[in-house]
Homo-oligomer: A and B are copies of this chain.
Amino acid sequence: MHTQTLEFRSDNCGRVAPEIIEAISRANHGSAIGYGADDLTLQLNMRVSEIFETQVRVFPIPTGTGANALALASVGTPFGAVFCSPEAHINTSECNAVGFFGSGLKVTPIDGIHGKVCPDSLEKNLHSAGFGQAHKSQPVAVNLVQATYLGAVYSVAEIQRISALAREKNLTVHMDGARFANALAYLGCTPAEMTWKSGVDILSLGVTKNGGLLSDAIVVFNPAVADKINFHLRRGGMIWSKMRFASAQILAYVENDLWLRLAKQSNLAAQQLAAGINNIPGARLIAPVQANELFAEMRAQSLDQLAQHGVLFYRRGPELARFVCRWETTEEEVQSLLSLIAQHA
Protein backbone atom coordinates (compact mmCIF):
# COMPACT_ATOMS: atom_id res chain seq x y z
CA MET A 1 0.00 0.00 0.00
CA HIS A 2 0.88 3.63 -0.52
CA THR A 3 2.45 6.06 1.84
CA GLN A 4 2.71 9.09 -0.40
CA THR A 5 -0.11 11.60 -0.83
CA LEU A 6 -0.81 13.07 -4.27
CA GLU A 7 -2.77 16.34 -4.17
CA PHE A 8 -5.11 16.83 -7.14
CA ARG A 9 -8.23 18.16 -5.34
CA SER A 10 -8.20 21.82 -6.21
CA ASP A 11 -5.95 24.70 -7.07
CA ASN A 12 -7.10 26.35 -3.86
CA CYS A 13 -5.43 23.59 -1.82
CA GLY A 14 -2.05 24.79 -2.88
CA ARG A 15 0.62 27.16 -1.77
CA VAL A 16 1.02 30.88 -2.28
CA ALA A 17 3.65 32.02 -4.75
CA PRO A 18 6.54 33.39 -2.67
CA GLU A 19 6.59 36.60 -4.74
CA ILE A 20 3.15 37.46 -3.37
CA ILE A 21 4.09 37.05 0.27
CA GLU A 22 7.26 39.04 -0.35
CA ALA A 23 5.15 41.84 -1.80
CA ILE A 24 3.22 42.07 1.46
CA SER A 25 6.43 42.37 3.43
CA ARG A 26 7.74 45.03 1.06
CA ALA A 27 4.55 47.05 1.49
CA ASN A 28 4.82 46.92 5.26
CA HIS A 29 6.48 50.26 6.01
CA GLY A 30 5.26 53.69 6.89
CA SER A 31 1.59 54.60 7.00
CA ALA A 32 -1.02 54.89 4.27
CA ILE A 33 -4.55 56.11 4.01
CA GLY A 34 -7.15 53.35 4.18
CA TYR A 35 -9.90 51.89 2.00
CA GLY A 36 -8.11 52.11 -1.33
CA ALA A 37 -6.99 55.72 -1.56
CA ASP A 38 -3.35 54.72 -1.09
CA ASP A 39 -0.44 54.82 -3.53
CA LEU A 40 -0.15 51.08 -4.08
CA THR A 41 -3.79 50.86 -5.11
CA LEU A 42 -3.25 53.75 -7.48
CA GLN A 43 -0.22 51.95 -8.92
CA LEU A 44 -2.28 48.80 -9.28
CA ASN A 45 -4.88 50.65 -11.31
CA MET A 46 -2.24 52.15 -13.57
CA ARG A 47 -0.35 48.89 -14.05
CA VAL A 48 -3.42 46.83 -14.86
CA SER A 49 -4.58 49.56 -17.24
CA GLU A 50 -1.27 49.23 -19.06
CA ILE A 51 -1.54 45.48 -19.20
CA PHE A 52 -5.11 45.64 -20.51
CA GLU A 53 -4.22 48.53 -22.89
CA THR A 54 -7.13 50.67 -21.70
CA GLN A 55 -8.16 52.66 -18.67
CA VAL A 56 -9.65 50.17 -16.20
CA ARG A 57 -10.71 50.28 -12.57
CA VAL A 58 -9.40 47.52 -10.32
CA PHE A 59 -11.05 46.56 -7.05
CA PRO A 60 -9.27 43.93 -4.95
CA ILE A 61 -11.92 41.76 -3.30
CA PRO A 62 -11.58 38.88 -0.85
CA THR A 63 -13.20 36.07 -2.85
CA GLY A 64 -14.23 35.04 -6.33
CA THR A 65 -17.79 34.48 -5.14
CA GLY A 66 -17.86 38.06 -3.92
CA ALA A 67 -16.34 39.28 -7.19
CA ASN A 68 -18.91 37.46 -9.31
CA ALA A 69 -21.95 38.35 -7.25
CA LEU A 70 -20.99 41.94 -6.78
CA ALA A 71 -20.01 42.46 -10.41
CA LEU A 72 -23.36 41.09 -11.54
CA ALA A 73 -25.33 42.96 -8.90
CA SER A 74 -23.72 46.24 -9.84
CA VAL A 75 -24.59 45.96 -13.51
CA GLY A 76 -27.95 44.28 -13.05
CA THR A 77 -31.30 45.26 -11.68
CA PRO A 78 -33.24 43.38 -9.02
CA PHE A 79 -35.71 42.17 -11.61
CA GLY A 80 -33.00 40.95 -13.95
CA ALA A 81 -31.73 37.59 -15.10
CA VAL A 82 -28.17 36.45 -15.79
CA PHE A 83 -27.62 33.78 -18.42
CA CYS A 84 -24.88 31.29 -17.75
CA SER A 85 -23.80 27.72 -18.34
CA PRO A 86 -25.44 25.11 -16.09
CA GLU A 87 -21.91 24.35 -14.83
CA ALA A 88 -21.13 28.00 -14.07
CA HIS A 89 -19.75 28.54 -10.61
CA ILE A 90 -22.44 31.15 -9.90
CA ASN A 91 -25.05 28.46 -10.56
CA THR A 92 -23.54 25.47 -8.82
CA SER A 93 -21.20 26.59 -6.09
CA GLU A 94 -21.82 30.04 -4.72
CA CYS A 95 -24.83 29.33 -2.53
CA ASN A 96 -27.33 32.07 -3.41
CA ALA A 97 -24.77 34.86 -3.68
CA VAL A 98 -25.98 36.38 -6.95
CA GLY A 99 -29.59 36.44 -5.77
CA PHE A 100 -28.48 37.89 -2.46
CA PHE A 101 -26.22 40.65 -3.76
CA GLY A 102 -28.64 41.31 -6.61
CA SER A 103 -31.76 41.48 -4.39
CA GLY A 104 -33.38 38.61 -6.21
CA LEU A 105 -31.35 38.81 -9.43
CA LYS A 106 -31.96 35.47 -11.09
CA VAL A 107 -29.38 33.01 -12.39
CA THR A 108 -30.74 31.35 -15.53
CA PRO A 109 -28.71 28.42 -16.86
CA ILE A 110 -28.91 27.87 -20.61
CA ASP A 111 -27.61 25.02 -22.73
CA GLY A 112 -24.01 24.59 -23.78
CA ILE A 113 -21.21 22.04 -23.65
CA HIS A 114 -17.97 21.79 -21.70
CA GLY A 115 -19.21 24.42 -19.29
CA LYS A 116 -19.68 27.05 -21.98
CA VAL A 117 -22.65 29.19 -22.90
CA CYS A 118 -23.69 28.15 -26.40
CA PRO A 119 -24.30 31.17 -28.66
CA ASP A 120 -27.29 29.52 -30.36
CA SER A 121 -28.86 28.79 -27.02
CA LEU A 122 -28.25 32.38 -25.95
CA GLU A 123 -29.88 33.65 -29.11
CA LYS A 124 -32.92 31.44 -28.58
CA ASN A 125 -33.29 32.47 -24.96
CA LEU A 126 -32.96 36.14 -25.81
CA HIS A 127 -35.63 35.72 -28.43
CA SER A 128 -38.16 34.27 -26.01
CA ALA A 129 -37.17 36.30 -22.97
CA GLY A 130 -40.14 38.64 -22.91
CA PHE A 131 -38.27 41.95 -22.79
CA GLY A 132 -40.48 44.63 -21.32
CA GLN A 133 -42.97 42.17 -19.81
CA ALA A 134 -43.14 42.78 -16.10
CA HIS A 135 -43.81 39.18 -15.15
CA LYS A 136 -40.60 38.04 -16.81
CA SER A 137 -37.16 38.39 -15.28
CA GLN A 138 -35.41 40.78 -17.63
CA PRO A 139 -32.11 39.56 -19.12
CA VAL A 140 -29.33 41.90 -18.02
CA ALA A 141 -26.10 39.98 -18.28
CA VAL A 142 -24.36 36.93 -19.62
CA ASN A 143 -21.73 35.17 -17.56
CA LEU A 144 -18.77 33.45 -19.23
CA VAL A 145 -16.44 31.30 -17.15
CA GLN A 146 -12.96 31.47 -18.63
CA ALA A 147 -11.54 28.81 -18.37
CA THR A 148 -14.75 26.85 -17.78
CA TYR A 149 -15.34 24.62 -14.83
CA LEU A 150 -14.79 21.64 -17.13
CA GLY A 151 -11.38 22.87 -18.17
CA ALA A 152 -12.26 24.24 -21.61
CA VAL A 153 -11.38 27.69 -22.90
CA TYR A 154 -13.57 30.02 -24.98
CA SER A 155 -11.81 31.13 -28.15
CA VAL A 156 -11.68 34.85 -28.82
CA ALA A 157 -14.13 34.31 -31.67
CA GLU A 158 -16.60 32.59 -29.33
CA ILE A 159 -16.41 35.46 -26.87
CA GLN A 160 -16.97 37.91 -29.69
CA ARG A 161 -20.00 36.07 -30.99
CA ILE A 162 -21.61 35.92 -27.55
CA SER A 163 -20.80 39.56 -26.84
CA ALA A 164 -22.34 40.63 -30.12
CA LEU A 165 -25.58 38.87 -29.23
CA ALA A 166 -25.52 40.38 -25.77
CA ARG A 167 -24.81 43.86 -27.08
CA GLU A 168 -27.85 43.80 -29.35
CA LYS A 169 -30.07 43.46 -26.32
CA ASN A 170 -28.08 45.71 -23.98
CA LEU A 171 -26.83 42.86 -21.86
CA THR A 172 -23.62 43.24 -19.93
CA VAL A 173 -20.92 40.65 -20.55
CA HIS A 174 -19.32 39.39 -17.35
CA MET A 175 -16.31 37.11 -17.41
CA ASP A 176 -15.74 34.88 -14.39
CA GLY A 177 -11.98 34.65 -14.70
CA ALA A 178 -11.31 32.42 -11.71
CA ARG A 179 -8.76 30.77 -14.03
CA PHE A 180 -8.21 33.80 -16.27
CA ALA A 181 -4.44 33.38 -16.49
CA ASN A 182 -4.78 29.72 -17.41
CA ALA A 183 -7.05 30.65 -20.30
CA LEU A 184 -4.77 33.48 -21.33
CA ALA A 185 -1.76 31.19 -21.33
CA TYR A 186 -3.65 28.66 -23.41
CA LEU A 187 -4.89 31.12 -26.03
CA GLY A 188 -1.69 33.10 -26.23
CA CYS A 189 -3.63 36.26 -26.96
CA THR A 190 -3.42 39.54 -25.05
CA PRO A 191 -5.53 40.28 -21.97
CA ALA A 192 -7.25 42.99 -23.99
CA GLU A 193 -8.15 40.62 -26.80
CA MET A 194 -9.70 38.17 -24.37
CA THR A 195 -11.78 40.87 -22.66
CA TRP A 196 -12.88 44.36 -23.69
CA LYS A 197 -11.71 44.09 -27.28
CA SER A 198 -14.08 41.13 -27.54
CA GLY A 199 -16.92 42.84 -25.72
CA VAL A 200 -16.35 41.92 -22.07
CA ASP A 201 -17.56 44.70 -19.73
CA ILE A 202 -16.47 43.45 -16.36
CA LEU A 203 -14.10 40.75 -15.17
CA SER A 204 -13.68 38.73 -12.01
CA LEU A 205 -9.93 38.33 -12.07
CA GLY A 206 -8.98 35.21 -10.18
CA VAL A 207 -5.71 35.24 -8.27
CA THR A 208 -6.24 32.79 -5.42
CA LYS A 209 -6.33 29.60 -7.48
CA ASN A 210 -3.14 30.54 -9.32
CA GLY A 211 -0.76 31.21 -6.47
CA GLY A 212 -2.62 34.00 -4.73
CA LEU A 213 -3.22 34.42 -1.03
CA LEU A 214 -6.50 35.96 0.09
CA SER A 215 -7.49 38.37 -2.66
CA ASP A 216 -9.01 38.30 -6.10
CA ALA A 217 -10.08 41.41 -8.02
CA ILE A 218 -12.84 42.98 -10.07
CA VAL A 219 -11.63 44.72 -13.23
CA VAL A 220 -14.11 47.14 -14.78
CA PHE A 221 -13.81 48.12 -18.44
CA ASN A 222 -17.01 50.15 -18.48
CA PRO A 223 -16.46 53.35 -16.49
CA ALA A 224 -20.19 53.92 -15.96
CA VAL A 225 -20.31 50.85 -13.78
CA ALA A 226 -17.22 51.61 -11.73
CA ASP A 227 -18.58 54.56 -9.81
CA LYS A 228 -21.27 52.63 -8.01
CA ILE A 229 -19.15 49.57 -7.32
CA ASN A 230 -17.40 51.20 -4.42
CA PHE A 231 -20.72 51.63 -2.64
CA HIS A 232 -21.79 48.08 -3.39
CA LEU A 233 -18.44 46.86 -2.07
CA ARG A 234 -18.75 48.84 1.11
CA ARG A 235 -22.34 47.80 1.75
CA GLY A 236 -21.18 44.24 1.14
CA GLY A 237 -18.38 44.46 3.70
CA MET A 238 -15.84 43.91 0.92
CA ILE A 239 -13.49 46.89 1.25
CA TRP A 240 -10.43 46.25 3.34
CA SER A 241 -9.29 49.22 5.38
CA LYS A 242 -5.64 48.19 4.89
CA MET A 243 -6.16 47.92 1.15
CA ARG A 244 -2.52 48.59 0.27
CA PHE A 245 -1.66 45.06 1.37
CA ALA A 246 -4.20 43.57 -1.02
CA SER A 247 -3.16 45.82 -3.88
CA ALA A 248 0.46 44.83 -3.33
CA GLN A 249 -0.48 41.20 -3.88
CA ILE A 250 -2.32 41.80 -7.14
CA LEU A 251 0.50 44.01 -8.35
CA ALA A 252 3.03 41.26 -7.70
CA TYR A 253 0.72 38.80 -9.41
CA VAL A 254 0.61 40.64 -12.73
CA GLU A 255 4.16 42.01 -12.55
CA ASN A 256 6.95 40.31 -14.48
CA ASP A 257 4.40 37.95 -16.02
CA LEU A 258 4.16 36.02 -12.76
CA TRP A 259 0.50 35.17 -13.42
CA LEU A 260 1.35 33.69 -16.82
CA ARG A 261 4.38 31.83 -15.54
CA LEU A 262 2.33 30.18 -12.79
CA ALA A 263 -0.54 29.38 -15.13
CA LYS A 264 1.75 27.86 -17.72
CA GLN A 265 3.12 25.51 -15.09
CA SER A 266 -0.30 24.18 -14.07
CA ASN A 267 -1.46 24.05 -17.69
CA LEU A 268 1.62 22.07 -18.63
CA ALA A 269 1.09 19.59 -15.81
CA ALA A 270 -2.51 19.18 -16.98
CA GLN A 271 -1.36 18.60 -20.57
CA GLN A 272 1.06 15.92 -19.44
CA LEU A 273 -1.63 14.28 -17.37
CA ALA A 274 -4.11 14.44 -20.25
CA ALA A 275 -1.64 12.94 -22.69
CA GLY A 276 -0.99 10.11 -20.29
CA ILE A 277 -4.67 9.42 -19.63
CA ASN A 278 -5.38 9.38 -23.34
CA ASN A 279 -3.03 6.43 -23.58
CA ILE A 280 -4.75 4.45 -20.85
CA PRO A 281 -7.58 2.28 -22.24
CA GLY A 282 -9.78 2.27 -19.14
CA ALA A 283 -9.83 6.06 -18.70
CA ARG A 284 -11.52 8.70 -20.81
CA LEU A 285 -11.43 12.50 -20.68
CA ILE A 286 -14.89 14.04 -21.09
CA ALA A 287 -13.82 17.54 -22.09
CA PRO A 288 -10.88 19.12 -23.88
CA VAL A 289 -8.01 19.88 -21.50
CA GLN A 290 -7.13 23.49 -22.20
CA ALA A 291 -6.41 24.80 -18.73
CA ASN A 292 -5.45 23.02 -15.49
CA GLU A 293 -8.48 20.84 -14.82
CA LEU A 294 -9.26 17.34 -16.08
CA PHE A 295 -12.44 15.33 -15.85
CA ALA A 296 -11.80 11.63 -16.39
CA GLU A 297 -14.22 8.75 -16.49
CA MET A 298 -13.11 5.40 -15.08
CA ARG A 299 -14.76 2.46 -13.39
CA ALA A 300 -15.93 3.26 -9.88
CA GLN A 301 -13.63 0.58 -8.56
CA SER A 302 -10.63 2.21 -10.20
CA LEU A 303 -11.46 5.48 -8.53
CA ASP A 304 -11.82 3.75 -5.18
CA GLN A 305 -8.37 2.31 -5.60
CA LEU A 306 -6.80 5.63 -6.53
CA ALA A 307 -8.23 7.05 -3.33
CA GLN A 308 -6.91 4.12 -1.32
CA HIS A 309 -3.46 4.70 -2.77
CA GLY A 310 -3.34 8.27 -1.51
CA VAL A 311 -4.57 10.24 -4.48
CA LEU A 312 -6.55 13.25 -3.30
CA PHE A 313 -9.21 14.24 -5.84
CA TYR A 314 -12.95 14.94 -6.01
CA ARG A 315 -15.53 12.63 -7.55
CA ARG A 316 -18.12 14.37 -9.65
CA GLY A 317 -20.06 11.16 -10.17
CA PRO A 318 -19.60 7.50 -9.28
CA GLU A 319 -17.35 7.06 -12.32
CA LEU A 320 -16.15 10.61 -12.83
CA ALA A 321 -13.03 12.12 -11.28
CA ARG A 322 -11.83 15.69 -11.34
CA PHE A 323 -8.07 16.25 -11.18
CA VAL A 324 -6.72 19.77 -10.79
CA CYS A 325 -3.11 20.76 -11.32
CA ARG A 326 -1.53 23.60 -9.38
CA TRP A 327 1.30 25.95 -10.25
CA GLU A 328 3.57 23.84 -8.05
CA THR A 329 2.43 20.42 -9.28
CA THR A 330 5.56 18.56 -10.34
CA GLU A 331 6.12 16.29 -13.30
CA GLU A 332 6.95 13.59 -10.78
CA GLU A 333 3.53 13.92 -9.18
CA VAL A 334 1.91 13.70 -12.59
CA GLN A 335 3.85 10.57 -13.42
CA SER A 336 2.96 9.00 -10.09
CA LEU A 337 -0.70 9.64 -10.69
CA LEU A 338 -0.49 8.26 -14.22
CA SER A 339 1.16 5.10 -12.95
CA LEU A 340 -1.59 4.56 -10.44
CA ILE A 341 -4.27 5.17 -13.06
CA ALA A 342 -2.61 2.82 -15.52
CA GLN A 343 -2.35 0.21 -12.82
CA HIS A 344 -5.99 0.41 -11.68
CA ALA A 345 -8.07 1.62 -14.61
A→B interface (CB under 8 Å):
7, 9-10, 12-16, 18, 21, 24-25, 28-35, 61-70, 77-81, 92-101, 103-107, 134-138, 208-209, 212-215, 228, 230-242, 245-246, 312, 326
Contact = CB atoms under 8 A, between A and B. Distances in A.
A218 B326 CA distance: 31
15 contacts: A12-B34, A12-B241, A13-B33, A16-B245, A62-B62, A65-B234, A92-B136, A93-B136, A94-B237, A95-B135, A96-B235, A100-B235, A212-B242, A214-B245, A237-B238
Contacts of A107: 106
Given A21-B25, A65-B237, A231-B79, A242 B12 contact: yes
Contact of A97 (B94, B101, B234, B246): B234
A286 to B, nearest CB: 17
A93 B341 CA distance: 49
Given A62-B214, A77-B231, A97-B236, 15 more contacts: A12-B242, A16-B24, A18-B28, A24-B24, A66-B236, A66-B237, A78-B100, A81-B96, A93-B136, A94-B235, A95-B135, A96-B104, A96-B137, A100-B236, A214-B215
B134 A231 contact: yes
5 A-B pairs closest in CB distance: A66-B237, A100-B104, A99-B104, A12-B241, A96-B104
A137 B93 CA distance: 8
